Chain A
């Protein structure tokens, strides 16, 4: 369970939001929708333990991320996967490099196993044989899917995705819908931050919980018991 208590963020000389409560249950897929510049990326950074909130606290499995044991906070971050909003920072790398450093972050894995799993993951996200492709030569959609596949290589318990659904594009929504729900069904937690939720997803998710400038949806997971959220 990832909980945010009375979270507040001050940015660009102003209060972006304050006093927000969140609760993301385990083994579920969550989508936080919010308008541009509402602080979705900051929220994900705060939940991952990257950015200390200016007010409030984040608690993971009963332990404060920012006021608790630093080693446990690091362990939490190590257990998280993160697909950021796409930038050109990694443009010099190849898709294979993304998998190599993801494997490095995840601990020991044999090279042959990494390559084998990378190929299967790339095939799953519609990029078969893309290992040698340079990031600079990929479209935004391809970058998003390559980064997502690289994060999945480590099998993170919690996956944070920033703008992945919008970035991947409409043709890949069904794949992502199935993927996120499958991850949740296997006991993982997925937190998505998007400007809007695809219409079909919203219909399936039902009513959203309004939290400050955000709307929090819990995506239906086949065979799972519905939990609570903020």
Chain B
């Protein structure tokens, strides 16, 4: 035997049982954290929920022909903040009215259909801001065929602020869990460094620098942290995919399952894995330093 010892996965080689237990625990934690991350990322906090329930209504003048109204709806749908724009002719509007207020059929007998046609505009969840809603509303108001725009501008800012606060709270809780992961990881790393202190001093006596040991332990923690986070997020994302496919309410709040496969969602998962790798390495280094200073 000769040559410098390889210190990769040294903890694994010295203490497999403890490391297996920790790895299983971290994987399960990353499954939960990964599914929470994807849910938060796709839902945008409460944005998608709000966007699903919020609509701008552009009431059209009575004389606007259906073809022109549909053309206008298509133009509105092409605006960047708009997710969908659907024209409802006066007949459909009347039926909706009756569904909402049954028993008011006699109103029509007096002078025909009193309901005008309208365009229902839905905003994209990621563009549900005061500025974008204002842009769509002002664009619609400048169109001569539009008689009135109902955008709830009086109460919308309060609603959006509440949505932002809810989003911050959700991300804050997520961050707290990440911080908890770091603290628990640091404790685990410290405990392992204390348990393996005899082995490390054995190696140090035989010419292995302590700094090199710490570096390789942290590097292994980073690699395993990345892989565990990636695997946990993939598993959590898979579970989320199944839930979203089977639960329309969840789909309305979080988004369609296909959004999990979008490049930006994958990029978020990769970023999360990288952050987990950094946190794991930092926990390893802190645990190592704490164990060594505790020994002195």
Contacts and interface: CB of A to CB of B under 8 A. Distances in A.
Interface of A: 48, 50, 73-80, 82, 89-90, 93, 100-101, 103-109, 153-155
B293 to A, nearest CB: 19
A107 B3 contact: yes
A107 B14 contact: no
B21 interface: no
Contact of A101 (B1, B2, B202): B202
Contacts of B111: none
A104 B10 contact: yes
A105 B13 CA distance: 12
A74 B198 contact: no
Contact of A77 (B1, B13, B206): B206
B207 interface: yes
Nearest to A154: B1
Contact of B205 (A77, A79, A109): A77
Chain B contact residues, majority secondary structure? loop
A90 B198 contact: yes
Given A74-B207, A76-B207, A90-B198, A104 B1 contact: no
Contacts of B203: 101, 104-105
Given A90-B198, A100-B14, A107 B205 contact: no
B13 A107 contact: no
Contacts of B199: 101, 104
A75 B2 CA distance: 11
A107 B206 contact: no
Interface in B1-23: 1-6, 10, 13-14
B: contact size bracket: 10 to 19
B134 interface: no
A185 to B, nearest CB: 20
B172 interface: no
Contacts of B198: 89-90, 93
Given A90-B198, A100-B13, A101-B14, A107 B207 contact: no
B266 interface: no
B5 A106 contact: yes
B209 A107 contact: no
Contact of A75 (B6, B10, B202, B207): B207
A100 B5 CA distance: 12
Contact of B4 (A107, A109, A155): A107
A106 B1 contact: yes
Nearest to A102: B202
Contacts of B5: 78, 104-108
B14 A74 contact: no
B208 interface: yes
A93 B199 CA distance: 10
Interface in B236-250: none
Instruction: Kindly list the 7 A-B residue pairs having the minimum CB-CB distance in the complex, ordered from nearest.
Output: A77-B207, A78-B207, A106-B1, A74-B207, A107-B3, A105-B206, A101-B199
Nearest to A109: B1
A109 B6 CA distance: 10
Contacts of B4: 78, 107
Contacts of A79: 207
Nearest to A93: B198
Contact of A74 (B2, B6, B13, B209): B209
Contacts of A107: 1-6
A108 B205 contact: no
A103 B206 contact: no
Nearest to A81: B206
Contact of A48 (B1, B205, B208, B209): B205
A116 to B, nearest CB: 13
A154 B203 CA distance: 13
A105 B3 contact: no
B13 to A, nearest CB: 6
A222 B222 CA distance: 54
A80 B204 CA distance: 12
A73 B204 CA distance: 12
A76 B6 CA distance: 17
Nearest to A101: B199
B1 A80 contact: no
Nearest to A82: B205
